[in-house]
Amino acid sequence: MAELLNIKDLHVEIEGKKILHGLNLKVNSGEVHAVMGRNGSGKSTFSNTLMGHPAYKITKGQFEFAGTVINNLKTNERAKLGLFLGFQYPLSIPGVTVANFLRQANKAIKGDSVSPKEFRKMLYEKMDDLEIDHAFATRYVNDGFSGGEKKRMEILQMAMLEPKLAILDEPDSGLDIDSLKLVAESINKFKKKNPDVSVLLITHYQRILDYIKPDKVHVFVDGNIVESGGPELALELEKKGYDWLTVVK
Amino acid sequence: MALELNNNEYQYGFHDSEENYAFKSGKGLTKDIVLSISKMKNEPQWMTEFRLKALEIFYKKPMPKWGDTKLLGEIDFENIFYYVKSTEKQGKNWEDVPKEIKNTFDRLGIPEAERKFLAGVSAQYESEVVYHSLREDLKKLGVIFLDMDTALREQPDIVKKYFATIIPSEDNKFAALNSAVWSGGSFIYVPPNTQVEIPLQAYFRINTENMGQFERTLIIADEGSSVHYIEGCTAPTYSSDSLHSAVVELIALKGAKIRYTTIQNWSKNVYNLVTKRAVAHEDAVVEWLDGNMGSKLTMKYPSIYLVGERAHGEVVSVALASGSDQHQDAGAKIVHVAPNTTSVIISKSISRNGGRASYRGLLKVHKGATNVKSSVKCDALMLDEHSRSDTYPTMEIDEKGVQIEHEATVSKIEDEKLFYLMSRGISEEQAKLMIVNGFMEVFVKELPMEYAVELNRLIELEMEGSIG
């Protein structure tokens, strides 16, 4: 399988504070990688850096995406190359409807402009998949949405924008078991329709991995990957916790 | 390549030659000028006297001691033309309108708007209304929609009955000035139980350098009727200042509804000092939708007097202050006189590039106005460190047990929101525009489609080059 993401010796700091220390990671097309770690282990720094958040400064190392070094690309340019970040805490944009937002995003990323009618049809189909009421199309982005609604909205955006690599930052946090199942199923459905898409699933808990089978599992401790393995690693973590890895380090 | 919109590139900054103008008064304001305006218009005696009395009041009244007194102090009343008549005759049909004037209107898109859905056009070019049409179905309804000068000639009784009853000349210096030299503006009368389904619209335009424009608008919605009036402004750019000082009076009789929508886009050398006031009688509804995009200094506080039981008043305003030479001092005044009256004030302001946006509001509840409900919400969005936003809310509550909500926020465009939008492929510039448009949505969604599109385009033009 073709290499999609290649991170070499990545060092990142925010406001002078070093967070990531020499991280290496390769993801091939079509693979699902789970990145697990405690709160504060640098997982969100990692995902924000991948997407080009201006507050995170790369001090050393580089990352290639689809054969291009993207260290210096702006966030929207990365999105156009096929990177997507599902936010842990999606932001509300009052006064901007979901439909308008997604239409502009769709146009920016895919370059083409489908007719409003076609677009609506596409949007409603994906909403049905996620059991999102069509009325959400005319609501303002994440404005007054519940936690679960926001998370499903992120997956809806992923499904609409069809990235090459979806970084999903804790898509399971704050969800009850029904919402979790729904979110996981829609990720699976999207993955099935688009087998070449890679997923970086960042999570705190093993729970979501009961529904989404990762090809690889990485464990994050203190700003670096300290252990990588197959799906069995997640189960081991579930049993033993993170402490044994901290000791190893 | 984004361009900063400045005076030299002002979108509507074209102007035609002034040589064909039929009459232009000298600069400065004298009794003779007022008399000659009234004489030229062939006005009844009472109006001439009204003007002269107003002139005396104007001379005596001091300048406002509040608001932007510095900018106000720069107005030179001696250096203003108070009356310009652009053509001898008013064209009744589009064909009769002079070619030069047509060209100007063409570039503003007026004929196209007419073709689409205009019910009547009262396009004010200079001080005289040159084009005025009224669609047949409105005529059949008995709706009177005239320019103010014609209304005074053709409907003298009803004009005399209501004229200056809501805003007397004594109200303030600029109302007195308008009363002395007013010209043009719209007059609307809607008969009882008549619903005007299509918005009535007028375009205003200043053309002569140093020319004051003093239009006078009076709208009367008789019992159980409803009407929506839209006023859109655009003016060309000149190097020295122009003064625009309108008076707008609305009267909503029992059970009537008036909505008055303004999109003000004067060029940035215009003083826009406007007095707008409405009375709402029993069960009546008055809504001011007030958008301020242009001008050098705007001071405008649409007000509503809720004088009948269960009357409802609403003022939704947006202001964009862009650049250190622009100050939008806008707001709303609501006065609850009768019991069971309700009101809503929503104010949104955006300041950028050193611009200053002020909200100035009054909420007053008279003794005896029991069971009043009111909600006031002011949101300011500041796009950079150099800009300024102030809030001057005043509340005078003389009755117990009133329900009042008041909320004020000041925000900036958060980096996290930009990051969120940009992570969906949207450029920084587009993301900012999206957030700004979203901020204004509460206003824009109330506009007819054409106006919403036009306003979004204006905001886009203003926002261009906003990334440093």
pLDDT tier at B97, thresholds 50, 70, 90: low
* Per-residue pLDDT, B465: 56
* Per-residue pLDDT, A151: 92
**Average pLDDT of span B245-264:** 95
Q: B425: nearest CA in chain A?
A: A76
* Per-residue pLDDT, A133: 93
* Per-residue pLDDT, B23: 64
- DSSP code of A95? E
pLDDT tier at A48, thresholds 50, 70, 90: very high
Which two structure tokens, joined as six digits, stand for B467?
């990334």
Reply yes or no on whether the pLDDT at A102 is more than 90: yes
* Per-residue pLDDT, B376: 96
Q: Convert the pLDDT of each residue in B209-229 to its tens digit.
A: 444 588 899 999 999 999 999
The rounded mean pLDDT for chain B is 82
* Per-residue pLDDT, B123: 46
Q: Convert the pLDDT of each residue in B408-458 to its tens digit.
A: 999 999 999 999 999 999 999 999 999 999 999 999 999 887 778 777 777
Average the pLDDT over each of A16-20, B79-83, B374-378, B393-397 and give the range with the smallest value: B79-83
Provide the shortest C-alpha distance from residue B318 to chain A (in Å): 14
Q: Do B441 and A95 touch (CB under 8 A)?
A: yes
Q: Do B426 and A76 touch (CB under 8 A)?
A: yes
The rounded mean pLDDT for chain A is 90
Q: Which of B423, B427, B443, B447 is the best substitution to test chain A (most A C-beta atoms within 10 A)?
A: B423
Q: Do B437 and A95 touch (CB under 8 A)?
A: yes
Q: B415: nearest CA in chain A?
A: A54
* Per-residue pLDDT, B454: 73
- Torsion sign over Cα A176, A213, A63, A190: negative
Residues of chain B neighbouring A161 (CB-CB closer than 8 A): 424-425
Residues of chain B neighbouring A52 (CB-CB closer than 8 A): 422
pLDDT tier at B88, thresholds 50, 70, 90: very low
Q: Do A94 and B422 touch (CB under 8 A)?
A: no
Query: Which has the closest alpha carbon to B434: B420, B419, B416, B421?
Result: B421
Kindly report the pTM of this predicted structure. 0.83
- Cβ of A90 under 8 Å from any chain B Cβ? yes
Which of the pair, A175 or B88, is modelled with greater confidence? A175
Provide the shortest C-alpha distance from residue B434 to chain A (in Å): 7
Q: Convert the pLDDT of each residue in A218-230 to its tens digit.
A: 998 888 898 898 8
Residues of chain A neighbouring B422 (CB-CB closer than 8 A): 52, 74-76, 79
Per-residue exposure over B29-56, b if at least 16 CB sit within 10 Å of its own CB, e if not: beeebbebbbeebebeeebbebbeebbe
Q: What SS3 class is residue A65? A: strand
* Per-residue pLDDT, B235: 44
Reply yes or no on whether the pLDDT at B106 is more than 70: no
ipTM of the complex in this document: 0.96
* Per-residue pLDDT, B459: 79
Task: Answer yes or no: are the C-beta atoms of B298 and B330 closer than 8 Å.
Answer: yes
* Per-residue pLDDT, B80: 79
Residue A91 is nearest to which of B417, B425, B440, comparing CB atoms?
B417
Residue B425 is nearest to which of A54, A80, A94, comparing CB atoms?
A80
- Torsion sign over Cα A117, A118, A122, A123: negative
Q: A157: nearest CA in chain B?
A: B424
Q: Convert the pLDDT of each residue in A135-165 to its tens digit.
A: 999 999 999 999 889 999 999 999 999 999 9
Which of the pair, B325 or A137, is modelled with greater confidence? A137
Q: Do B425 and A101 touch (CB under 8 A)?
A: no
Strand runs labelled E in B48-140: 84-85, 120-125, 128-134
